[in-house]
Chain A
Amino acid sequence: MDQLPNLGREQEMLASMGLKSIDDLFSDIPEDVRRIDPLPLRGPQSEEEIWADAQHLLGANIDLDSRPSFLSAGLARNFVPTMVPMLATRGEFLTSYTPYQPEVSQGMLQAMWEFQTMVSELVGLPVSNVSMYDASTAAAEAITTAVRVKGRKATQKGVVYVSQFVPPHRLSVIENYTQGVGIELRTLEHNSDGMVNLEAASAAAGACAVYVEQPNAFGELDEGITQMKEIIGENTALIVGVDAVSLGIVEAPGNYGADIVVGEGQPFGIGPTAGGPIYGLFACKKDYLRLMPGRIVGKTLDEDGNDAFTLTLSTREQHIRRHRATSNICSNETLIALMGAMHMALLGPEGLEKLALRVAATTEVTKQAISGIPGVELVDPNTPNFREFAVKLPGNAADAVAHMDAAGVLGGFPMGEWWDSMSSCLLIGCDERTKQSDIDALVSALTAWVEEVSA
């Protein structure tokens, strides 16, 4: 057993303690709860055998890069620079714990402080933590944070308005995080063109918070959101969920009044990874700092007066405050945030802008191509899109996806899985890697299906 350096030396170690057998070490477990029989599991494997099985099992999956793929729905089929995994998996980073001892953890602490700065710059807000689990938990804890901060002055006690188009899997997380702590979620309606209904938004003035997404779940950019803060007022927090890459060309929400910005960090740093580990972005105004969740790194001095970094404001956290903590989060997604920081730093400002423009370009080209298919209509023909757009099909979108799948194209996400009323709608996701030949394949596969159902 290669993982156990003391295998075969048990007896001498036991003898030095005056013990006879390994069983003596477990004699404190009462017999009525002791397991006598061996675990009914398979036999051990060598590294070689594990690798072979991993190749076999994971090789049975069809990966996104192996075919034209238009499935996004909140995750990005990105390209992660080679440097990123190579450096992030250096053992000193990979095998460290949360930096409780700053004197021997300056590397990760500084990297996270730099991460906080880059996220802060990206979204236009002064404070960022070192990551949440994902976009959904970031949104959920942004809401509970806002209620803690705005609760007293709010005239609509405990009320939070959530955009009608927050997808159900994200909404479900929000509901689980808010249901027990006196928060009432109300729906913020959108107009028929997909944009937030600003008149309805005025009803949110006096609530604790409003949560909207920019772009929304259909990939639609909404100019109205820039007026939202003025409409809801100072006593109601504006929380904006973003596509992080879009911020290379779309205004930072902090510059149009957002109090808290959340989003999926995944496009920077790591592949879709079957949904995790990824990381959630969480940034806010200074008024939220003392009631926000998650680890925060501060810059300070050491005893000799040299610059140093350390975790700070831990009095918010569970290991100090226990049930009065702002959140139960402790382990977060630091290593993935580190990968994100590396990716962001490598891009730089101009690289970010270019990345965003690449996504905008493929989105636009794909949108034009798809809307030219007879029988296929854009759900919202006049709205600008980033990364994703929704089309209405002459039939069930899940059938269309299955049909295209048989033709070797991953054609998008059937929106009926989110909302029953949208079973004929297909959400098509593009990214910086979408090629003209991918778009041609999608058009051809979708056209073939449309012709078949229309025949």
Chain B
Amino acid sequence: MSEIFDFNGAKGSGWSQPEPMKKDAINTVPSSLRRSALPRWPRASEPELVRHYTWLSQRNFGIDTGFYPLGSCTMKHNPRINERIVQLPGIDRIHPLQPVHQIQGLLSIFYEMQEMLEICAGMDQVTLQPVAGAQGEFTAIRCIQEYHRQNGDIQRDKVIVPDSAHGTNPASAAMCGYEIVEIPSGDDGRLDLDALRAAVGEDTAAMMITNPSTLGIFEPDIAEAADIVHTAGGQMYYDGANFNAILGKTDPGRMGFDAVHYNLHKTFSQPHGGGGPGSGPIGVKSHLADFLPSPIADREETEEGGATGDGYRYFWRTPPNSIGKVQQWHGNSGAVVRAWAYYRRYGRELELMSEHAVLNANYLRHQIMNPNREHQNSIHSMPVDGAPTEVVKHEFTLSMMPLKETTGVTGKDIAKRLLDYGYMSPTLYFPMIVPECLMIEPTETESREVLDKFAEDFLTILSEDPEVIQTAPHTTDVRRVDEVLAARTLVLRKEFDD
């Protein structure tokens, strides 16, 4: 294995730069503040680095490499036109504080995206500022907090989340200072209305929930849940991580929600880049709109035609009781522009995207749960469906508990074995209410052939020698990685000998 610090042969810098405009510029730094020793960065030429990073890329699995059924993450294809567009100087070389007349095109895209997201979620006002789903949650809960404060409802210090919720929900609410009340799901994995009734009260600030749930099933009682929370004086927050399942079929506004976040890096194809960037706009009903972070793109008609020729002049607007800022600028504008390009591909046909996401999820679930005779005879134990409903939405969960009981093979072993077959593993051990859980989300951009092959390979693994599965992966760049050792030794950087 080679590391970037192995490159230390070249003299000077690996990159050519013009000379400084002035020779003695170091004198601008007071001597007591001058750097004593330069950082030990590599000394590498461009050819060496191109090869290094190409090699690293080849040791990384992406959607482009193969099927990526990582539940809750919506790993759909990322259209390449998006990447071409964000290289344009009109986005790459733009400063967010430029006078608005210089960035009318950017503002018009922001405005169009706000409007589109409002329509899709049944909300009244969207801000594009939050830069990740978790930050969207945090931002919306902050707005709800200020709303309660303005109403004098300062005793509302609790946020309710179901036990199947994404970990970010309780974490985001706690960062606003809220106490978390976790309510157990019913036996069928669905929201338990009695548990909710018992949990709400004068101290309820909000409930945070995703629908379809993390089990991939639609909560049929959602409108009643919203009634219960609203009657108690709380606000309903919609975690939009699973928006890909319902776009155009229903929306959080109809379900009774007051606030929602969107993941542009899930539903709207901003590539996830190995851990970000994301983009987590939020939408709210009108009673929360005054609290949104600043600024929001707005427009007014102009007789001069406008810089983009659409008859409008665009500007930034600060809501009257704005919570201020959650990111220093206007959010991840580049992600917004990519999502805009993606949206333009579908336009009013966005619901096709959800239809195919749900079609693929149900099809794959059916293929796995209905093995042919040959598989039936050889499989050690079938998984148990995490939600015994007739249909699921965009994802489904499988419990590998029976397999563990009969063979000792865990969900994690299956996940690792799938890597040998050229697949990314499904989301593992989440939601926690399903034992030995694999959470599978195929997305709409996979063909039937890929789904058939995955189901076939998955069932084949279930009949393999347990020893082979438990020692997987066998064909990857490295074998099973010792995570315990990593946490014990904590080698978090290169240590140099000198």
Contact = CB atoms under 8 A, between A and B. Distances in A.
A4 B138 CA distance: 34
B41 A335 contact: no
B99 A273 contact: no
A41 B347 contact: yes
Interface stretch (A151-159, A359-367, A372-380, A443-451): A359-367
B358 interface: yes
B240 interface: no
Nearest to B174: A323
A350 B26 contact: no
Contacts of B85: 50-51, 54, 58
Interface string A125-163: 011101101111100000010000000000000000000
A172 B355 CA distance: 41
B356 A6 contact: yes
B86 to A, nearest CB: 8
A42 B346 CA distance: 9
Contacts of B328: 74, 134-137, 169-170, 173, 275
A187 B459 CA distance: 63
A28 B348 contact: no
Interface string A399-431: 001100100001001000100000000000000
Q: Which of A27, A275, A386 has the most CB of B within 10 A?
A: A275
Contacts of A221: 29-30, 33
Contacts of A271: 92-93
Interface string B253-285: 011000000000100000111111111000000
Given A40-B119, A41-B119, A226-B32, A17 B308 contact: no
B377 interface: no
A348 to B, nearest CB: 5
Given A58-B85, A94-B273, A332 B132 contact: yes
B476 to A, nearest CB: 4
Contacts of A289: 490, 492
A328 B57 contact: no
A452 interface: no
Interface stretch (A65-73, A196-204, A205-213, A231-239): A65-73
A386 to B, nearest CB: 7
Given A121-B40, A331-B275, A180 B178 contact: yes
Contacts of A111: 53, 56
B205 to A, nearest CB: 11
A42 B348 contact: yes
Given A57-B105, A179-B177, A73 B49 contact: no
Residue from B54, B58, B327 whose CB has the most chain A CB atoms within 10 Å: B327
Given A334-B274, A358-B20, A328 B34 contact: no
Nearest to B90: A58
Interface residues of A, number: 207
B473 interface: yes
Interface in A104-121: 104-108, 110-114, 116-118, 120-121
Nearest to A181: B177
A297 B62 CA distance: 19
A39 B330 contact: no
Given A272-B94, A272-B96, A319-B167, A6 B68 contact: no
A108 B477 CA distance: 13
A83 B46 contact: yes
Please indicate which of the listed interface residues B15, B360, B473 has the most CB atoms of chain A within 10 Å of its own CB: B15
A337 to B, nearest CB: 8
Nearest to A362: B21
B15 A346 contact: yes
Interface string A337-350: 01001101111111
Contacts of A180: 145, 175-178
B63 A95 contact: yes
B64 A94 contact: yes
A274 B358 CA distance: 35
B106 interface: yes
A81 interface: yes
A77 to B, nearest CB: 7
Contact of A16 (B99, B220, B366, B491): B366
A348 B43 contact: yes
Interface string A15-55: 01101001011111110111100111111110101110111
Given A3-B79, A45-B345, A136-B325, A410 B479 contact: no
Contacts of A89: 83
Nearest to B331: A276
Nearest to B450: A5
B448 A13 contact: yes
- The secondary structure that dominates the B interface is loop
A271 B490 CA distance: 33
Interface in B207-229: 217-218, 220, 222-223
B385 interface: no
B96 A274 contact: yes
Given A28-B218, A54-B341, A276-B332, A96 B448 contact: no
A101 B327 contact: no
Interface string B99-111: 1001111101100
A108 B58 CA distance: 10
Interface string B57-94: 11111111100101001010111010111111111111
A335 B335 CA distance: 12
A116 B39 contact: no
A99 B275 contact: yes
A312 B487 contact: yes
A126 B13 CA distance: 24
Contacts of A332: 132, 275-277
A300 B90 contact: no
B29 A249 contact: yes
Q: Which of B18, B25, B279, B331 has the most CB of A within 10 A?
A: B25
A455 interface: no
A35 B271 CA distance: 29
Interface string B167-186: 11011111111101000000
B350 interface: yes
Nearest to A290: B490
B305 to A, nearest CB: 11
A63 B360 CA distance: 43
Nearest to B139: A176
B478 A302 contact: yes
B49 A345 contact: yes
A250 B325 contact: no
A353 interface: yes
B483 A310 contact: yes
Interface in B131-168: 131-135, 137-138, 142, 145, 166-168
A384 B29 contact: yes
B104 A39 contact: no
Contact of B308 (A56, A87, A90, A350): A56
Contact of A274 (B28, B56, B106, B277): B106
A345 B42 contact: yes
A302 B482 contact: yes
A186 interface: no
Nearest to A222: B33
Q: Which 9 A-B pairs have the closest CB atoms?
A: A275-B329, A180-B177, A335-B273, A58-B90, A351-B13, A91-B64, A334-B275, A107-B60, A172-B324
Given A358-B25, A361-B25, 8 more contacts: A3-B79, A6-B360, A101-B425, A136-B325, A272-B94, A274-B103, A338-B273, A354-B13
5 contacts: A1-B352, A54-B341, A97-B275, A97-B424, A331-B278
